[in-house]
Amino acid sequence: MIAEIIAIGSEMLTPFRQDTNSLFLTERLNEVGISVAFKTVVGDNLEHLTSAARTAIGRVDLTVLMGGLGPTQDDLTREAVAAALSIELKRDNDLVTELYKRFAERRLQMPENNAQQCDVLQGAVVLRNSKGTAPGQWLEMEFEGKPRMIALLPGPPHELHTMWDMEIMPRLREKAPRAAFAGRVLKVAMMGESAVDLRAAPIYKKYPNIETTVLAAQGQVELHLRATAATPEDAQAEADRLAGELEDELGDAVFSSHGESLEEIVSYYLQMRNMKLAVAESCTGGMVAERITSVAGSSRSFLGGVVVYSNDLKTLFADIPPLMLEAHGAVSREVALALADNIRELCNADIGVGVTGIAGPGGGTEEKPVGLVFVAVSNGHKNDVVQRRFFGDRERVRRWASQQALDMVRKMLM
Amino acid sequence: MIAEIIAIGSEMLTPFRQDTNSLFLTERLNEVGISVAFKTVVGDNLEHLTSAARTAIGRVDLTVLMGGLGPTQDDLTREAVAAALSIELKRDNDLVTELYKRFAERRLQMPENNAQQCDVLQGAVVLRNSKGTAPGQWLEMEFEGKPRMIALLPGPPHELHTMWDMEIMPRLREKAPRAAFAGRVLKVAMMGESAVDLRAAPIYKKYPNIETTVLAAQGQVELHLRATAATPEDAQAEADRLAGELEDELGDAVFSSHGESLEEIVSYYLQMRNMKLAVAESCTGGMVAERITSVAGSSRSFLGGVVVYSNDLKTLFADIPPLMLEAHGAVSREVALALADNIRELCNADIGVGVTGIAGPGGGTEEKPVGLVFVAVSNGHKNDVVQRRFFGDRERVRRWASQQALDMVRKMLM
């Protein structure tokens, strides 16, 4: 069974934006044994959109259209699919009423143009959108003598993901072929891609039924394993066996054995050990705190911290002596350690983190170049501080530095 | 004149890889006045590739195919285009000889399969590849009575870019219409997409030569304007005229008139007014500070702040009286205001920001539900505090709350 994903929106035909939703959808489709044969991006243009819809419906079993379901005049997906199939659109008055209610609950008046979101393709099932106003649609029909499935879904990722998992996946599981898939995702911190692959490749090559993909991001290498077998249990057992071998080889550089993010792992370990964390950040400017607090329930183990961008604040909030700043500079091993140790004591935390560095693009010197970062972790008995030089732009340096900090907390908790 | 870009390669139909070449090509095509109407990704499959080629050649003036020109059995682009057009491929013996030489120069024996790279579409011009072995091809012909241009180009970015600039651009400059393009991007804070469009649409519809795209993100609506005219100056003047009218209509809800991000604008205003900012965040957990410090040079106007997740830290770092926390709760108008006011004073800043709320998914009550957020701004003479209820998951609530905070700082600076 093959699918085509059509991403709709003129912004994705500019040099500035890309469709990324299709990556999520591809993963989910592969899970139920459906391959993606085509991906198309088309603008908010009725003629083009109709052409794209007709072409897709003609050549694949499942056509997924994302976007163009909103209330504006640019939102043409419903109309285009109706034109491609030569069928009617009918306004669903119950849906209109619901939409009015939704606005009323928020004490807002519904703008008139919202009603077009309730135009439904003849024969289609309406898919409720729990995260937004635009409903989706699901249509099964014959086209040129062949059975076809068509999904119209909203473009905003959080709306799309929820609707996909709630409404589309159960329908596809019923239709999809019987071959079973199972996966595992291992994540490795602070190692290069080729260094990881050099050790991992001899192992994963022994498993021809498992597709292994190596992906690198800032300070993180991911190993995606996808096993195929007769039953889901067999596939999972295979994937688990390879994952186990890889973990043995890579040791504690593997921070995640089921795809969790580094911040989730740190939050989890902290809660397990009933320990509290506090942070004092300079160059990362709140990124370490932001990443930790992105995890639901992190308030149970994260107390908070300080963003001490200026030297005065380093002294005011983290008790860094002005003399230390003068003697060693704000970007130094000594200040990183003092930030970690002081914030721990001040906040009455179990573990403290200190980060100081030069994120760039300005502010670098011969002695202290852009990308130089000191990260320290302290638990009162033991301190650890590392000096690193990260390459790339401001965002990249900050991201690597926050990754280094979280990974050091993880190792201290192990 | 419109184009379709077809990226060829099965790896781009996995959840892990994306075509990015098309962003480069789009920029170059726009320069010569050609719009991209469709982008397609297709795997190394002769039937699918032929379908994609035929569809594209049928609907656009210029079809650009990238990839699938190499020596392996997976490289099917030449064959597919020949099949789509029902024309012949002919092996170019001069090319074969050149290829042999190229290998010989590197003291390598040419593997037999390399010769298929010299199969040329009937009527096509061969494009030399100075960075690799696979030559490109350029074909001008009639298809279904219409003049068509077709380019077959290598997939590796450095080969593609060079061949594009050396071989394709000069040809397109000759063919392309004389029209010129120019754009503007306006961004609006804290308004819904349909509310913006209701006011903007009557204005941008008066400009038929300007393509207007409305994009919504969390707490942000973007209006992308792209004007077409005889000269770049005329196009820019048109775009500027529409942008001016839209700004008049939307007033100070427009925070960016040339595509800048909200954090860039806030940073810019602060530096212009020579003012210093400090923040005290609870539910956003450092996101406001992280966003501001993502802007290069923000250290000139951002002092820092505190992430006061626990009540103890609210008292320790932001002088929030325990009695106030008890009386009103941490998520309250009073605490938000005190956070803003106290952090400003403590840090000796000109403007202070306080954010407190319930990001969810846990922690909500009937009286104080998930998504309830108080944001306050203070400059010592004037305070402003708003109560908002944001919908969606933890990430979304936090993102909206940070957007609200930055927008209030912007308004205070205006």
Q: Which of A13, A20, A284 sits opposite B26 (nearest CB)?
A: A13
| Alpha-carbon span A48 to A227, nearest angstrom | 38
Percentage of chain B with pLDDT > 70?
A: 100
The token duo for A217 is: 């991001």
Reduced to 3 states (helix: H, G, I; strand: E, B; else coil), residue B353 is strand
CB B134 within 8 Å of CB B76: no
The token duo for A212 is: 């292994």
Give the per-residue pLDDT at B205. Answer: 94
Q: Is B73 exposed, middle or buried (0-12, 13-18, 19+ CB in 10 A)?
A: exposed
Give the per-residue pLDDT at A177. Answer: 66
Give the per-residue pLDDT at B177. Answer: 67
The token duo for B233 is: 């100056």
Chain B residues whose CB is inside 8 A of the A71 CB are 193-194, 197
Give the per-residue pLDDT at B244. Answer: 97
Residues 306-365 of A with CB under 8 A from B: 306-310, 312-313, 316-317, 346-348, 359-363
Mutation site, A159, A223, A310, interface B, largest B CB count within 10 A: A310
Written as tens digits, the pLDDT of chain A (414 aa) is 899 999 999 989 988 789 999 999 999 998 888 999 999 999 999 999 999 999 999 999 999 999 999 988 889 999 999 999 999 999 999 999 988 888 888 888 888 888 899 999 999 999 999 888 899 999 999 999 999 999 999 999 999 999 999 999 999 988 876 677 888 999 999 988 878 888 999 999 999 888 888 877 778 999 989 888 888 889 999 999 999 999 999 999 999 999 999 999 999 999 999 999 999 999 999 999 999 999 999 999 999 999 999 999 999 999 999 999 999 999 999 999 999 999 999 999 999 999 999 999 999 999 999 999 999 999 999 999 999 999 888 999 999 999 999 999 999 999
- Whether chain A has a CB inside 8 Å of the CB on B267: the answer is no
Give the per-residue pLDDT at A33. Answer: 82
Q: Which CATH architecture has domain B180-256?
A: 2-Layer Sandwich (3.30)
Reduced to 3 states (helix: H, G, I; strand: E, B; else coil), residue A183 is strand
Chain A residues whose CB is inside 8 A of the B201 CB are 72-73
A262-413 homologous superfamily: CinA-like (3.90.950.20)
pLDDT tens digit sequence for B30-83: 888 899 999 999 999 999 999 999 999 999 999 999 999 988 888 999 999 999
pLDDT band at B215 (very low <50, low <70, confident <90, very high): confident
Contacts A–B by Cβ distance under 8 A: 236
CB contact under 8 A, B288 and A286: yes
Chain B residues whose CB is inside 8 A of the A156 CB are 216
Can you tell me which residue has the tokens 């590849």?
B129
The fold for domain A2-175 equals Molybdenum Cofactor Biosythetic Enzyme; Chain A (3.40.980)
E runs forming strands in B252-350: 254-256, 277-281, 302-308
| Alpha-carbon span B249 to B264, nearest angstrom | 23
Residue B203, CA atoms < 13 Å, CB-side half-sphere: 19
B131 vs A404, more confident: A404
Among A337-341, A390-394, B125-129, B312-316, where is mean pLDDT lowest?
Answer: A390-394
- Whether chain B has a CB inside 8 Å of the CB on A395: the answer is yes
Give the per-residue pLDDT at A73. Answer: 85
- Chain A nearest-CA distance from B98, in A, is 35
Percentage of chain B with pLDDT > 90?
A: 78
**Residue B178 predicted with pLDDT over 70:** no
| Alpha-carbon span B13 to A36, nearest angstrom | 6
Chain B CA closest to residue A23: B15
- Residue B283 has φ and ψ, to the nearest 5°, of -65, -25
Question: From residue A368, how far is each of A281, A321, A357, A359, A372 by CA, in Å?
Answer: 18, 21, 9, 11, 6
Residues 30-49 of B with CB under 8 A from A: 30, 35-43, 45, 48
Q: DSSP letters of A258-320? A: SS--HHHHHHHHHHHTT--EEEEESTTTTHHHHHHHTSTTGGGTEEEEEEE-SHHHHHHHH--
- Whether chain A has a CB inside 8 Å of the CB on B198: the answer is yes
**Residue B110 predicted with pLDDT over 90:** no
Q: DSSP letters of B176-195? A: S-S-EEEEEEEEEES--HHH
CB contact under 8 A, A286 and B307: yes
pLDDT tens digit sequence for B8-24: 998 899 888 889 999 99
Smallest Cα–Cα separation from A280: which of A191, A157, A405? Answer: A405
Chain B residues whose CB is inside 8 A of the A348 CB are 312
Question: pTM of the prediction?
Answer: 0.79
pLDDT tens digit sequence for A158-193: 999 999 999 999 999 888 766 778 889 999 999 888
Domain B271-413 has CATH 3.40.50.970: no
Chain B CA closest to residue A280: B306
- Chain B nearest-CA distance from A38, in A, is 5
- Domain extents in chain B: 2-175, 180-256, 271-413
Give the per-residue pLDDT at A178. Answer: 64
Q: What is the ipTM of this complex?
A: 0.79
